[in-house]
C-alpha cells in the first residue's frame, strides 16, 4: 500500500489510486475539467497539474498513480504557476461571453478561473472562432466556448454506447463535431449537457430561459419509467424550466435519459387542461369545479342505477402516484365497481391468476451489473427503462453474455445475441428452447438456439428478464408460461422489467380487477376493459386511443358508452364521448410517491403550483368520493392518504415469485390473414410512451414503420408507403427495411397519430406505394 | 466505391491486429482508399468505417487529423509547407506568402490547371533544415523564394524529380 503525503498530510492508499483520488479522500480540492469519475481518464485539459517532489515537471493528478513515498504539493509555487499557465492557455480562445452564456453561474471554467487564474494574460492576438453545429433539437452548441476536454466524446463512447461526437481537425482547427452534421440521437444525450464543463453544450429547450441561480430546486422523481430515476426539478415562478438528474448511486447514478430530462416541455402544451369541462350541446365548455364534480357524480350514479356498478370500467394510468392509485381503487371498489384496471397495453389476461404480487426485478439495479448470463424475454429496456438498460450495458462490458428473444431485433447499445424467428413464431422459440434445455436434440438450423440453451445450462443461476413486449403479445398468457418453462428448465431466476413508471404501485395497490391492495384475490369473471358491456368509463390520466393496444375496441366501446368521465392533464386527445373532464395537477405540480422496479418506495414533492385550476389527483378523488357519498376517504392531507395505503398494503417483499401457478390455457388458433395482408406488429417508442412525453416538442420524432427488405422488394415499395385497412383512413408512413421483421409483417410505432388512425394492432392491413409524400 | 483489390488490401491490414481492435487498421485502410480514389470523399470515409465496423465519426476524426489525407480533390503536385515552430522562426510565413502569390491560390486551394495544391502542415521532423516543404515523397529544405520559383518552373516543365 503506497504511503504518500499531499500538502503535508500523510495517507495510505490502495495500489493504483491516482493522486487526484487520494487528494479527494483527504478532502483536498484539485481543479479539473476533463476528469470525470464515471469516464475514462484523458488527462488532456492539464488543469489538475500538481507538484510532485523529485519530478522536474508538474504531473497531471488525474492520470498519475500514487507511488510509495510520493510527496505532492497542490498549492506550491510550482503547482500554482502550472495551474495559472494552463488556465491562461485555456482562456486564450475562450470567449468572454459569460453574461449571455447559459452555463454562467454553474460553470467550472468560470469558478476555477476565479480561484486559480492569474488575472493578467500575455495573449494579445485574435481568438479563434469555431463554426456552430446543429446536433439536434436537444443540445445547443456554442463551439467557440469548447475547451476540448472530450468529456462528451467519451460519454458517447463509454456510457451511451454510441459514438456520435468526435474530435475532428487538428491543432488550431481541432473541434468537437458529429459525423458530417448529423444529429445526436442517443437516448442519453442530454447528460452531455451536464458533463460539459463550459457553455459549449447547453440545453436547447432551456436556452435563454433563466439564469441558473434564479431557479428553485425541488428534489423529485422521474415518472416515465420503472427505473425511478431521481431528478431535480428546477423552476422559476409557475414554470418548470428544466429537469436534471439528482445523483443516487443505487438508482440512476448521476444520469437520466432524454425522456426524463425533456418531457417537462409537455407540461405547457397547448392542450393542457386548465379548467373543468362539461359537454353542453355536444361541445366541451369550461365549468366550475362544483358543477363538474356534480355532473361527474350524477353521471356515474345514473349508470349505477340503470346497469349496476359492474357496468363501470375504471381505468387509470400506471404513471399515477401510489396515493392516486390507492384512492382510485378504494373509491370505485366502494361503489361496487369491479373493473379497475391499469393495463391498457395488454389484451390477453388469461394468465392473471399466475401474475406476481407486482412486477419486481427481484434484485437491486446495482446487482444487475454483476450478472453473467442474461436472457431478455421480449424486452427492449434501452427505450423502455433506459437507465436499467445502462446497468445491463455495464454487465455486458464486464463480460456478461446477453441474449434476447423478441419478435423483431431491437437496436441495443451493447452486444446482444438476438434471436428473432424468421417466421414470427416467438412463442414457439421459447417452447423449443425449453425442449432443448430438457435434452432434446437440436436440429441443424437451430444453431443459435442450441448455443443459447448450452449457455443457460452451463451458467450457474442465469437470469431471465421479462419485458414490456411480453405483456403486449397477443398470446401473452402462453408466452409467459413458455418463459416460465424456460426458466424452470434452465434453473434460472426470473425478474420483471416493470412496464410503466409506477406499474409496481398499481399492482400492489389493487388497480387490477382481480386483486385488492396487498394482492388479496377478488373472485369473479372478467370482461376486457374495452367491452361494450361497460356502459360508463372513468379515464384517469389515460388517452384511450394513444395508450391502448386495442384501439379499435376502445373506440367502439366508448362509442356505445352512456357516460365517460375523464380526469387528466390534457384535453387534445379526449374521446368525443367524454362528458366531464376534471383537470389534474401533473407530477411536477403535486406531491406523492412511486414504487420502482426494485420495490423501492420513493417520494417526491411539488415543484410548482398546479396549472390553471388543475388540482392534485388525490384531492380530486377525495372530493369526488364526497360527491358520490363514499365514506371513509375523507383524508385531509397527503400524509393521511399515505398512512392509509401503507396500512392497507402492509410490508411488501422486495423479492416475489415471478409467477404463481398458471391456469389451464385453452389453445387459441390465430385467425389466418386475408390474402395479401400484412400482420401488424408494434410497440410504443421511447418518446410516444405516455401523454406527457408525446407533447414534449423537442422530443418529437417522425414515425417510421419497418418491413422485411424482401417484402418491400416483392411489392415494389419505395421509402414511403400507404397503409390501408377497411373502414379506416389511408395512412402514409416512411418505411425502413429491417431484416429482423418477420416476413409478412409490418412493424408500427404505437402512440402515434398514424397508429391511431390505423386502429392499432388488432388486425392486418395492406400496403402500397405512396402516391405522394404527404403524411396524414 | 472500394474495388475488390482495395477491400482485400484492407482485409490484409485488418488481420494484423486483434479481433476487437479494428480501429488499429484505420490509418492503413484510409491510405489504401485514398491511393485508389485520389482523395477521400465523405462517402469513402464512411465506407472504410463500415468495412472496419467502427463508428463513422472515428474514421472521420483520423481523416481530418492527418494532413496526408485529402478531403478535397488535390492537384498533381501537393506542396505541403511546414508551419511549426522551427520553420515559422525561419520564415515559413514568407515562403507560404510567396507561394500563394506565385500560384494565385490560398492555403488549401488548388490551381485552375489542376497542377498545384498548397497546404500548411504541422512539423515534418526536419527542423535542422527549416523552412521545409514536403512534395510527394520528397523533402525540400532551407527554402528561399528564389528556390521556390525554380521549383515551380521545373514542375510546370513536367519534371517531378526536384532533388
Cβ contact A166–B65 (<8 Å): no
Q: Which of B57, B66, B122 sits opposite A179 (nearest CB)?
A: B57
Burial label, A8 (beta-carbon count in 10 A; 0-12, 13-18, 19+): exposed
| pLDDT for the residue numbered A775 | 45
What does each C-alpha distance from A79 to A62, A245, A745 come to in angstroms?
A: 14, 34, 66
Axis-axis angle for helices A426-437, A447-458 (nearest 10): 50
| pLDDT for the residue numbered A128 | 92
Size of interface A-B (CB pairs under 8 A): 35
How far apart are alpha carbons A653 and A642 in whole angstroms? Answer: 18
C-alpha cell at B24: 488499429
Chain A residue numbers with beta carbons less than 8 Å from the beta carbon of B40 are: none
Burial label, A96 (beta-carbon count in 10 A; 0-12, 13-18, 19+): exposed
Tens digits of residue pLDDT in A363-414: 999 999 999 999 999 999 999 999 999 999 999 999 999 999 999 989 999 9
Chain B residue numbers with beta carbons less than 8 Å from the beta carbon of A180 are: 42, 60
- Give how far A151 is from chain B: nearest CA, Å: 16
- Give how far A396 is from chain B: nearest CA, Å: 15
| E-strand stretches of chain B | 77-82, 116-121, 133-135, 138-140
> At A453, which helix (H) or strand (E)?
helix A447-458
How far apart are alpha carbons A465 and A389 in whole angstroms? Answer: 11
What does each C-alpha distance from A146 to A97, A142, A153, A162 come to in angstroms?
A: 13, 7, 12, 21
Tens digits of residue pLDDT in B79-109: 999 999 999 999 999 999 999 999 999 999 9
Chain A residue numbers with beta carbons less than 8 Å from the beta carbon of B66 are: 170
**Is omega for the bond preceding A392 within 30 degrees of 0, making it cis?**
no
Q: Within chain A, which residues score under 70 in pLDDT?
A: 181, 771-776
| pLDDT for the residue numbered A776 | 44
Q: Which of B55, B64, B67 sits opposite A168 (nearest CB)?
A: B64
What does each C-alpha distance from A317 to A280, A309, A610, B161 come to in angstroms?
A: 27, 21, 19, 79
How far apart are alpha carbons B58 and B30 in whole angstroms? Answer: 12
* Cβ neighbours for A440, distance < 8 A, ≥ 6 positions apart: none
Matching residue, cell 468529456: A151
How far apart are alpha carbons A756 and A44 in whole angstroms? Answer: 51
| pLDDT for the residue numbered A772 | 54
Note whether A3-91 and A125-268 share their fold. Answer: no
Q: Beta-carbon neighbour count of residue A658 at 10 Å?
A: 22
CB A112 within 8 A of CB A31: yes
| pLDDT for the residue numbered A119 | 87
CB A223 within 8 A of CB A569: no
Cβ contact B57–A169 (<8 Å): no
Of B36, B37, B17, nearest in space to B25 by CA = B17
How far apart are alpha carbons A161 and A155 in whole angstroms? Answer: 8
Q: Which of B42, B61, B67 sits opposite A166 (nearest CB)?
A: B61
- Give how far B84 is from chain A: nearest CA, Å: 11
Chain A residue numbers with beta carbons less than 8 Å from the beta carbon of B58 are: 163, 166
Q: Where are the domains of chain A?
A: 3-91, 125-268, 365-496, 678-775
Q: Beta-carbon neighbour count of residue B22 at 10 Å?
A: 17
Strands A580-583, A563-568: pairing is: parallel
- Per-residue pLDDT band for B160 (boundaries 50, 70, 90) equals low
A712-720 contacts, C-beta under 8 A, 24 or more apart: A712/A737, A715/A767, A715/A768, A716/A769, A717/A767, A717/A768, A717/A769, A718/A769, A718/A770, A720/A770, A720/A773
How far apart are alpha carbons A501 and A329 in whole angstroms? Answer: 18
How far apart are alpha carbons A344 and A774 in whole angstroms? Answer: 31
Give the B-side interface with A, CB within 8 Å: 42, 46, 55-58, 60-61, 64-67, 122
How far apart are alpha carbons A38 and A232 in whole angstroms? Answer: 20
- Give how far A180 is from chain B: nearest CA, Å: 8
- Give how far A155 is from chain B: nearest CA, Å: 14
Tell whether domain A3-91 is in CATH 1.10.10.60.
no
Chain B residue numbers with beta carbons less than 8 Å from the beta carbon of A177 are: 57, 60
C-alpha cell at A710: 424482401
Sign of the alpha-carbon torsion through B74, B79, B84, B89: negative
Buried b / exposed e over B123-137, threshold 16 CB at 10 Å, is ebebbeebbbbbbee
Order of strands across the sheet that contains A216-221: A216-221, A230-236, A239-245
Q: Which of B46, B60, B67 sits opposite A168 (nearest CB)?
A: B60
SS (H, E, C) A129-180: CCCCCCCCCCEEECHHHCCCCCHHHHHHHHHHCCCCEEEECCHHHCEEEECC
How far apart are alpha carbons A652 and A650 in whole angstroms? Answer: 6
Fold of A125-268: Alpha-Beta Plaits (3.30.70)
> At A377, which helix (H) or strand (E)?
strand A373-377
ipTM of this complex prediction, to 2 decimal places: 0.86
A125 touches chain B (CB under 8 A): no
* β-sheet bridge partners, residue A65: A18
Cβ contact B64–A169 (<8 Å): yes
Superfamily for the A365-496 domain: Dimethylsulfoxide Reductase, domain 2 (3.40.228.10)
| pLDDT for the residue numbered A446 | 85
CB B17 within 8 A of CB B29: no
Fold of A678-775: Barwin-like endoglucanases (2.40.40)
Of A486, A474, A376, nearest in space to A430 by CA = A486
Amino acid at each position: 500500500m503506497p504511503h504518500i503525503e499531499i500538502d503535508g498530510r500523510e495517507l495510505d492508499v490502495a495500489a493504483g489510486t491516482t493522486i487526484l483520488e487520494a487528494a479527494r479522500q483527504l478532502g483536498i480540492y484539485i481543479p479539473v475539467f476533463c476528469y470525470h469519475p464515471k469516464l475514462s481518464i484523458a488527462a488532456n485539459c492539464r488543469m489538475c497539474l500538481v507538484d510532485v517532489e523529485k519530478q522536474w515537471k508538474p504531473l497531471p493528478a488525474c492520470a498519475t498513480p500514487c507511488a510509495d513515498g510520493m510527496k505532492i504539493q497542490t498549492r506550491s509555487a510550482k503547482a500554482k504557476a502550472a495551474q495559472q499557465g494552463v488556465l491562461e492557455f485555456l482562456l486564450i480562445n475562450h470567449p468572454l461571453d459569460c453574461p449571455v452564456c447559459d452555463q454562467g453561474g454553474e460553470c467550472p471554467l468560470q469558478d476555477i478561473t476565479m480561484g486559480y487564474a492569474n488575472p493578467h494574460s500575455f495573449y494579445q492576438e485574435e481568438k479563434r472562432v469555431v463554426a456552430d453545429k446543429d446536433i439536434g433539437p436537444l443540445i445547443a452548441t456554442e463551439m467557440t466556448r469548447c475547451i476540448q476536454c472530450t468529456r462528451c466524446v467519451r460519454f458517447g463512447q463509454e456510457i451511451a454506447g454510441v459514438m456520435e461526437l468526435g474530435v475532428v481537425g487538428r491543432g488550431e482547427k481541432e473541434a468537437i463535431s458529429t459525423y458530417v452534421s448529423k444529429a445526436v440521437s442517443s437516448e442519453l444525450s442530454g447528460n452531455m449537457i451536464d458533463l460539459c464543463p463550459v457553455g459549449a453544450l447547453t440545453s436547447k429547450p432551456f436556452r435563454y430561459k433563466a439564469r441558473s441561480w434564479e431557479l428553485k430546486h425541488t428534489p423529485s422523481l422521474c415518472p416515465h419509467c420503472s427505473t425511478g430515476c431521481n431528478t431535480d426539478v428546477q423552476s422559476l415562478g409557475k414554470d418548470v424550466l428544466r429537469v436534471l438528474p439528482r445523483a443516487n448511486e443505487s438508482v440512476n447514478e448521476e444520469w437520466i435519459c432524454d425522456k426524463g430530462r425533456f418531457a417537462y416541455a409537455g407540461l405547457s402544451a397547448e392542450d393542457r387542461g386548465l379548467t373543468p369541462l362539461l359537454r353542453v350541446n355536444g361541445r366541451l365548455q369550461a365549468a366550475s369545479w362544483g358543477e363538474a364534480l356534480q355532473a361527474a357524480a350524477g353521471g356515474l350514479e345514473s349508470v349505477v342505477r340503470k346497469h349496476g356498478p359492474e357496468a363501470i370500467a375504471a381505468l387509470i394510468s400506471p404513471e399515477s402516484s401510489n396515493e392516486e392509485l390507492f384512492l382510485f381503487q378504494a373509491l370505485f371498489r366502494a361503489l361496487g365497481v369491479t373493473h379497475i384496471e391499469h393495463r391498457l397495453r395488454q389484451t390477453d389476461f388469461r394468465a392473471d391468476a399466475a401474475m406476481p404480487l407486482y412486477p419486481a426485478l427481484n434484485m437491486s439495479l446495482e446487482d444487475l451489473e454483476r450478472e453473467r448470463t442474461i436472457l431478455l424475454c421480449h424486452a427492449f429496456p434501452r427505450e423502455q427503462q433506459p437507465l436499467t438498460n445502462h446497468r445491463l450495458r455495464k454487465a455486458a462490458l464486464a463480460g456478461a453474455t446477453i441474449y434476447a428473444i423478441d419478435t423483431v431485433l431491437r437496436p441495443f447499445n451493447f452486444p446482444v445475441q438476438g434471436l428473432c424467428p424468421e417466421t414470427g413464431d416467438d412463442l414457439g422459440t421459447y417452447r423449443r428452447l425449453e425442449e432443448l434445455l430438457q435434452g432434446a436434440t437440436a436440429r441443424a438450423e437451430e444453431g443459435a438456439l442450441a448455443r443459447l440453451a448450452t449457455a443457460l445450462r452451463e451458467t450457474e443461476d442465469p437470469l431471465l428478464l421479462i419485458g414490456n413486449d411480453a405483456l403486449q403479445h397477443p398470446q401473452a398468457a402462453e408466452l409467459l408460461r413458455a418463459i416460465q418453462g424456460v426458466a424452470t428448465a434452465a434453473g434460472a431466476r426470473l425478474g420483471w422489467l416493470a412496464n410503466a413508471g409506477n406499474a409496481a404501485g398499481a399492482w400492489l395497490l389493487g388497480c387490477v380487477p382481480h386483486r385488492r391492495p396487498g394482492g388479496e384475490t377478488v373472485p369473479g369473471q372478467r370482461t376486457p376493459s374495452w367491452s361494450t358491456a361497460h356502459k360508463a368509463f372513468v379515464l384517469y390520466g389515460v388517452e384511450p386511443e394513444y395508450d391502448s393496444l386495442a384501439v379499435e375496441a376502445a373506440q367502439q366501446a366508448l362509442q356505445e358508452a352512456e357516460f365517460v368521465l375523464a380526469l387528466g392533464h390534457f384535453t387534445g386527445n379526449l374521446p368525443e364521448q367524454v362528458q366531464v373532464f376534471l383537470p389534474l395537477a401533473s407530477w411536477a405540480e403535486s406531491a406523492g410517491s412511486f414504487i420502482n422496479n426494485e420495490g423501492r418506495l420513493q417520494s417526491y414533492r411539488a415543484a410548482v403550483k398546479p396549472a390553471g385550476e388543475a388540482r392534485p389527483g388525490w384531492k380530486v378523488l377525495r372530493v369526488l368520493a364526497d360527491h358520490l357519498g363514499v365514506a371513509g376517504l375523507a383524508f385531509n392531507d397527503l400524509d393521511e392518504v399515505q398512512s392509509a395505503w401503507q396500512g392497507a398494503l402492509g410490508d411488501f417483499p422486495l423479492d416475489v415469485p415471478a409467477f404463481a401457478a398458471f391456469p389451464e390455457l385453452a389453445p387459441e388458433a390465430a385467425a389466418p390473414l386475408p390474402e395479401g395482408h400484412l400482420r401488424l406488429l408494434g410497440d410504443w417508442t421511447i418518446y410516444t410512451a405516455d401523454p406527457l412525453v408525446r407533447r414534449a416538442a423537442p422530443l418529437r420524432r417522425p414515425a417510421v414503420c419497418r418491413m422485411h427488405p424482401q417484402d418491400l422488394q416483392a411489392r415494389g415499395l419505395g421509402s414511403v408507403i400507404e397503409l390501408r385497412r377497411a373502414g379506416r383512413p389511408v395512412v402514409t408512413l416512411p418505411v425502413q427495411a429491417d431484416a429482423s421483421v418477420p416476413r409478412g409483417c409490418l412493424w408500427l410505432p404505437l402512440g402515434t397519430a398514424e397508429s391511431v388512425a390505423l386502429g392499432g394492432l388488432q388486425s392486418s392491413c395492406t400496403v402500397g406505394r405512396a402516391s405522394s409524400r404527404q403524411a396524414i | 466505391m472500394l474495388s475488390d483489390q482495395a477491400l482485400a488490401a484492407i482485409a490484409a491490414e485488418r488481420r494484423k491486429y486483434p479481433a476487437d481492435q479494428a480501429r488499429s487498421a484505420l490509418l492503413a485502410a484510409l491510405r489504401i482508399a485514398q491511393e485508389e480514389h485520389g482523395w477521400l470523399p465523405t462517402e469513402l470515409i464512411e465506407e472504410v468505417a463500415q468495412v472496419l465496423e467502427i463508428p463513422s465519426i472515428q474514421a472521420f476524426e483520423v481523416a481530418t487529423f492527418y494532413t496526408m489525407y485529402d478531403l478535397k480533390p488535390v492537384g498533381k503536385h501537393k506542396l505541403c509547407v511546414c508551419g511549426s515552430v522551427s520553420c515559422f522562426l525561419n520564415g515559413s510565413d514568407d515562403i507560404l506568402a510567396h507561394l500563394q502569390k506565385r500560384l494565385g491560390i490560398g492555403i488549401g486551394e488548388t490551381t485552375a490547371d489542376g497542377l498545384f495544391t498548397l497546404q500548411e502542415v504541422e512539423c515534418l521532423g526536419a527542423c535542422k533544415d527549416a523552412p521545409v516543404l514536403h512534395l510527394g515523397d520528397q523533402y525540400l529544405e532551407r527554402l528561399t523564394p528564389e528556390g521556390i520559383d525554380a521549383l515551380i518552373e521545373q514542375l510546370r516543365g513536367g519534371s517531378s524529380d526536384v532533388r
